[in-house]
Amino acid sequence: MKGAAPWETWIVTIRVPRRHMFRLESLLQGESGMGVARFGDRSGRCELWTTRAQCASLLQWIEEMEQGMQVCVMEVGPWKKK
C-alpha cells in the first residue's frame, strides 16, 4: 500500500475549555492554510481538519499554545469515510 498523499485530510481531535473556543478558532483562521476548526458541541471537544502535509505544523502550533489555553490533543489520524 502506498503512503498517504500530502493533500489527504487528517483530523486532530482536541479538548479545549469553552472559554477559549472562539479565541482558538480565531487564531487558527489567522494561520493561512493550517486547518479548519469544527466544534460539534459545547463540551470542549473540537476537530481540527488539515492536510497530512500540514499536520506536523498544526501539532507544533497547538503545543505552543497548550499552556495558556489548556489545549489537550486527544487523537490524530486520517479522515475515514463512515
Domains of the chain, by residue range, sit at 13-78
- pLDDT tens profile 15-55: 988 888 888 888 999 888 899 988 877 778 899 999 999 99
**Structure confidence at residue 1 (pLDDT):** 37
Query: Any idea how long the chain is?
Result: 82
Mean pLDDT of the chain: 86
β-sheet bridge partners, residue 36: 49
CA–CA dist 62, 57 (Å, integer): 9
What does the angle CA 67 – CA 69 – CA 75 come to, to the nearest 5 degrees?
Answer: 85
Q: Read off the pLDDT of each residue in 44-70 and give the average, rounded to a whole number.
A: 89
The percent helix, strand, coil of the chain (3-state, each to 5) is 40, 30, 30
Using alpha carbons, list the distances in angstroms from residue 33 to 27, 41, 53, 62: 12, 24, 11, 15
Q: Read off the pLDDT of each residue in 64-81 and give the average, rounded to a whole number.
A: 87
What band does 57 get if pLDDT is binned at 50, 70 and 90? very high
